[in-house]
Structure 1
Amino acid sequence: MQVYGMRWIGIDSVIEAKMALTQIGSDPGGIAHMAGKGLGRAIKLEQVPLRVAHILKQEMLSVGGDAAVHRDVITNNVEATDVMLLGTVRQLERLASKVLAQPFGLKKVGHALKQLLSAIEPAKTRILDCRGKQLELGKRTLVMGILNVTPDSFSDGGKYIGVEDAVSQAERLVEEGADILDIGGESTRPNHSEVSAEEEWGRLEPVLKMLLYKISVPISIDTYKASVAAKALEAGAHLINDVWGLQKDRDMARVVGEYKAPVIVMHNQKGTDYHHLMGDILGFLQRSIELAEAQGLTGDQIIIDPGIGFGKTTEQNLEVMARLAEFKSLGHPVLLGTSRKSMIGNTLNLPVDERLEGTLATSVLGVAAQVDIIRVHDVKANYRAIKMADAIVREKRGIHYDGA
């Protein structure tokens, strides 16, 4: 039975909460105070020392929230525990402020919590300078077109190894809506054969130099080798896409730092064993971020990629897809790359050349999770699907609650 038009309103951010309260006609001062009260968050901390866990539990209870800890914390039979902070945004903000004056490292917890709460809100529109080429982040989801100049890539290997064919395909991708081109000279498919830096650069150089004069969008180079990245950046490439997140070739961080080039750091590992899947992936990416920051890169210059299809089973890939929004907690732009990958093939039991619909589904889910860039082979179809999803998720949500 519906009474007074009672219904549930889906609110996922403080911005949406403020819009909903404005529709009611609430006082602006009240809106600022109330917006965070209708928005629940669960914040997990791992291996927190016992005394810190006790304080967090007490302080969360004092602001009206709660904190879940290991059952043996009450008897002091553990040295450390994972902690799940459970409360509204308003309660968590109050907790962050309260613990800033506490001992035992809680000041750092307070600052980190404030940063995290800010990071998981929808990002504002801003400009990323890619060595002279500009990308607008936050307004819509950008499309990165894939151009493999390799003989053995899992999907399109051998199709564009000729310079003219590669340039023609690049121009086609841009015409179809690509905001960025990602050029790869070595396959990174499972069980691929590594090539030397000289051979990789030999494949990339003629195509890159031609495209720098031919197309207007930023060009990314897909490589994990510092020497290849240095030559590409010296030639004029605009950003680097490292499938090992700066952690395979330790000179890579220095190279991107010297050229002040934005870098995509992807999660990767050998094997599929994890302690905590999301915790381990986020920890890896945090180390990549620190390597980039140590070389002077900051903020949007560091783009993170969850690494779908790398070091993960199909089931693990699906779980990461279901939790894409959690990557926003790192406070950097997020890139999603699922195009034609085995996760789709295994789920739908389809070969590589029949995975377009599955790719489109993952691209739309990426938009819903507010990722910033989606990397695909089939630009035209994905561009259209992403544009439609953006119109719903980014541009309109929260504006027309009265018509819901």
Structure 2
Amino acid sequence: MSVTIRNVIVHNKKESLAEIISTGADISGCRLMAPKGVHRLIKLTGLSPKQANIIKQQMLSRGGEAAVSRGVIDCSASEAIVLIMGTLKQFDGLVNILKMQPFGLPKIGARIKQVLKNLEGRSPVEIDCRGKILLLGERTLIMGILNVTPDSFSDGGSFYNHEVAIEHARAMVSEGADIIDLGGESTRPGHESISVEEELDRVIPVLEKLVREIDVPVSIDTTKAEVARRALLAGAHLINDQWALRADPDMAHVVAEYDVPLIIMHNQKGTEYNDLMGDMVQFFEESIDTAVNAGLAREKIIVDPGIGFGKTLEQNLETMRRLDELSCLGCPVLLGTSRKSMIGKVLDLPVDERVEGTAATVTLGIANGADIVRVHNVKEMVRVARMTDAMVRR
């Protein structure tokens, strides 16, 4: 009999347990071994040298590892970065001992524990959009883009006429869209801002008909609190803020007042980062705190990595490769790559020839944890999502 030797990839404790059970080991032993079969790398920034030294020592004492920045050992550094490496079993021991340590370490331990829990994955969850329910996690949801603008990068002017816009929304729903995202202001590079009144004139007449004529939730893509408020009064079901509550200080209070789901997109001026994904996670944590402090439940927040916003081509591609690192937040992820310049630059194709490139990004995005994809070509991307779901969702 020949011997077969191969690697096994597990993503969480559940998959680890299944692999161990497949060996025929005693079930009680399988449960004890499962946390040892999952290895995690957790990065902490902004620590004091004292905190970093204790975390490193405690992780090493459990057979794990911890890399620390220079100057930590002799406390000459003002701030420390620690990369902790170990199994779930070792992390569990670390978290338990941090509960009894000084220097604010119990709180840090609790946050590590929450991140580890988030990385185990989320069960399908229902989000209430003012009576319309979205089930996230069972299959990928499709958000159809409806721009009632004269200057959006891909379809500017195509649906500027209200009746044409409404007919297009109906068509997207018939093709399988789970959400319609209605926007009245272009966010293309070099776009000119418009007034609240002009944005309302574009959006409200279409919205008022949509909420009566289609069965799926309608999202309003805006950064203005007054537009969001008027849209919610007119029946909108969720808000999509491309500046993550940072463009208008009243936005968080409006969303919390109406208790609707909120999409926050990563965005920034310029493309400078200390740590691309680390900076993005910090950005989201700050915006999530803003929303929660205003009264919105964290469970109603969806994050969007903002492909094409505040990022170079290489940074966009890196974000796509590392998208699953956002799972540490424990929030559903929306991905919007449809027809974007990232695809045009890689394939050297104009906007109207980027369907296949969009399909590739949707596939990778779903494989890396996206719950919702925001697209122009609904029929085609529904098929892409269903095929990808069949391969990656269990």
TM-score, length of structure 1 as denominator length: 0.95
AA aligned opposite 2:284: L
Change over 3 Å in CA distance of 1:86–1:3 after alignment to 2: farther
Please give the residue correspondences for 1:108-147 in structure 2 after superposition, counting only pairs within 5 Å: 108-147=107-146
* Aligned counterpart, 2:272: 273
* Aligned counterpart, 2:219: 220
* Aligned counterpart, 1:198: 197
1:335 aligns with 2:327: no
- In structure 1, distance between residues paired with 2:33 and 2:139: 28
Q: Contact 2:182/2:218 (CA < 8 Å) preserved in 1?
A: yes
**What SS is found at the alignment partner of 2:180?**
strand
* Aligned counterpart, 1:324: 323
After the TM superposition, which of the residue ranges 286-295 and 71-80 deviates more from structure 2? 71-80
Displacement, 1:390?
0.8
Unaligned runs of 5+ in 1: 396-404
AA aligned opposite 1:299: R
- In structure 2, distance between residues paired with 1:3 and 1:273: 54
Q: Contact 2:253/2:295 (CA < 8 Å) preserved in 1?
A: no
AA aligned opposite 1:237: A
Q: Contact 2:70/2:77 (CA < 8 Å) preserved in 1?
A: no
* Aligned counterpart, 2:358: 359
Please give the residue correspondences for 1:237-252 in structure 2 after superposition, counting only pairs within 5 Å: 237-252=236-251
Displacement, 1:21?
2.1
* Aligned counterpart, 1:230: 229
* Aligned counterpart, 1:399: none
AA aligned opposite 1:273: E
Deviations 1:227-280 (A, max 9, x none): 000000011100000000001101000000000011001111111112222222
* Aligned counterpart, 2:9: 10
- In structure 2, distance between residues paired with 1:31 and 1:171: 52
Displacement, 1:71?
3.2
Please give the residue correspondences for 1:47-58 in structure 2 after superposition, counting only pairs within 5 Å: 47-58=46-57
* Aligned counterpart, 1:401: none
Please give the residue correspondences for 1:246-395 in structure 2 after superposition, counting only pairs within 5 Å: 246-395=245-394
Q: Extract structure 1 runs of 4+ deviating beyond 4 A.
A: none
**What SS is found at the alignment partner of 1:294?**
helix
Change over 3 Å in CA distance of 1:32–1:297 after alignment to 2: farther
Change over 3 Å in CA distance of 1:3–1:52 after alignment to 2: farther
Unaligned runs of 5+ in 2: none
Displacement, 1:70?
1.6
Displacement, 1:188?
0.7
Q: Contact 2:182/2:221 (CA < 8 Å) preserved in 1?
A: yes
AA aligned opposite 2:290: L
- In structure 2, distance between residues paired with 1:387 and 1:211: 26
**Percent identical across equivalent pairs?**
54
Displacement, 1:39?
1.5
TM-score, length of structure 2 as denominator length: 0.97
Displacement, 1:3?
5.5
* Aligned counterpart, 2:74: 75
Q: Contact 1:122/1:370 (CA < 8 Å) preserved in 2?
A: no
- In structure 1, distance between residues paired with 2:29 and 2:100: 27
Displacement, 1:114?
0.8
* Aligned counterpart, 1:400: none
**What SS is found at the alignment partner of 1:182?**
strand
1:24 aligns with 2:23: yes
- In structure 1, distance between residues paired with 2:320 and 2:16: 26
**What SS is found at the alignment partner of 2:365?**
helix
Deviations 1:117-163 (A, max 9, x none): 01112210111101111000111111111010111000001111112
Deviations 1:345-372 (A, max 9, x none): 1111111111111111110111111211
**What SS is found at the alignment partner of 2:43?**
strand
Displacement, 1:49?
0.6
- In structure 1, distance between residues paired with 2:135 and 2:335: 17
What root-mean-square deviation, in Å, do the aligned CA atoms of Structure 1 and Structure 2 show? 1.3
Deviations 1:151-202 (A, max 9, x none): 1000001111112211111111111111111000010111111111111111
Q: Contact 1:167/1:207 (CA < 8 Å) preserved in 2?
A: yes
After the TM superposition, which of the residue ranges 273-282 and 151-160 deviates more from structure 2? 273-282
